[in-house]
Amino acid sequence: MICFISARGLDFTPVDDSHLPPDTPIIVVLHGLTGGSYESYVRAILSPACVPLHQGGLGYRAVVVNFRGCAGVPVTSPQLYSAGHTDDLRQALFYISHRYPGAPLLGLSFSLGANVMTRYVAEEGELSRLKSACVLGCPWNLAANASKLLDTYIGRHIYSQGMGRNLVNLLKRHVGTFASDHDVAKAAAVTIALTKPTIDMFDEHFTRIGGGSSPPWPFASANDYYEYSSSHNVLNKVKIPLLAINAADDPVVQDVPMDAEGNGWIIMALTPCGGHLGWFEPDEGWGQIRRWIKRPVFEWLRATGDDFVRSPPHWRPLHEEGGFLKEVGIDRLGCKELDGSDIIVGTEGEAGLLAGL
């Protein structure tokens, strides 16, 4: 069992971290498509990572950045999230680095969240607030992978429809928020009326319009959104250590840029099997199934958190304006802590086929 203290969309663990030194590394996590901090693939890594060193863990802190609308996070503006919208992560990192100014921030992300995190570190380059990143099951070339997913019966009717249905269900829970915005409200109304929606149908009807801030949203088509949001075409801009792990038998991600555009900051790994965020193996001692991916991820986190020496980053300084925490030079963004927080204990998440991917 792993416990989180939730500050709106940010779930922190351990709940009581007063015993930890201020420079304890923090794992910053982005989950998959419609997931959250409750996902088993998230907890499989964070639960042991936040165990003290003398108990076999890393002794780190962690925070899961839940996408808006996911894991009980309210939607308070006419916008959801997408593979190409990085500002929610950017603002979360403002707050985390302000709250823990002496702590190195280590990125860990899954599937859709991996695409967002890769784009963030590429956009920021040497100014990235993440010291390193580990991305698992990243979709990379969104257009190519969407096309290949639809080429097979199981891809179209199981995976694409399963993920599309989960997105529509999430949209239904928050559709009332969009009533004041004509374009997004109209797109939402059309989208929730779809029958047997695939993920590309959801993107064509809603994400290209309501998946991010303007500009660059809205896009003329889902393909234009894919072209803008894909992470494979920005790898040359990454300037921090980045480990990317995909599986060759992943039914969702079938196009992986193994050359990493020749960027020496990036290590690309392709395992023979593992599916999409699986990487399971039997635990013979306990008669259970565990995720072996924890081992290389732990090695990476320990190496970049404890051993890798990075030149002092020249982050843009933070300042407060009108009660909002902002980064100098990015006036469009700001965040502030709301009164109250809740302790969340448990593992239950959203119901539905392929939830969290």
CA distance linking residue 262 with residue 160, whole number of Å: 32
pLDDT digits (tens, 9 = 90+) for 143-165: 999 999 999 989 999 999 999 99
CA distance linking residue 331 with residue 117, whole number of Å: 21
Tell me which residues of the chain have a pLDDT lower than 70.
1-8, 284-288, 339-356
pLDDT digits (tens, 9 = 90+) for 171-216: 999 998 887 778 999 999 999 999 999 999 999 999 999 999 989 9
3-state secondary structure at position 136: strand
CA distance linking residue 155 with residue 162, whole number of Å: 10
- Distances from the Cα of 269 to the Cα of 83, 244, 246, 257, 273, angstroms: 21, 6, 6, 10, 12
Check: CB of residue 27 under 8 Å from CB of residue 63: yes
Of 2, 14, 108, 126, nearest in space to 60 by CA:
14
Count of other CB atoms within 10 angstroms of residue 271: 17
Which residues, 6 or more positions from 352, have their beta carbon under 8 angstroms from its beta carbon?
34, 162, 165, 166, 169
Catalytically active residues, by annotation: 111, 250, 276
pLDDT at 252: 95
- Distances from the Cα of 210 to the Cα of 184, 189, 218, angstroms: 6, 12, 7
The string of DSSP codes covering 275-344 is TTTT-EEEETTTTEEEETTHHHHHHHHHIIIII---PPP-PPPEEEETTEEEETTEEEEEE-PPS--EEE
> Which position has the token pair 């010291």?
131
> Cis omega (within 30 of 0) on the bond before 215?
yes
pLDDT at 345: 47
> Which position has the token pair 């109250």?
340
- 270 beta partners: 246
Of 241, 357, 235, nearest in space to 301 by CA:
241
Termini Cα distance of the chain: 21
3-state secondary structure at position 234: helix
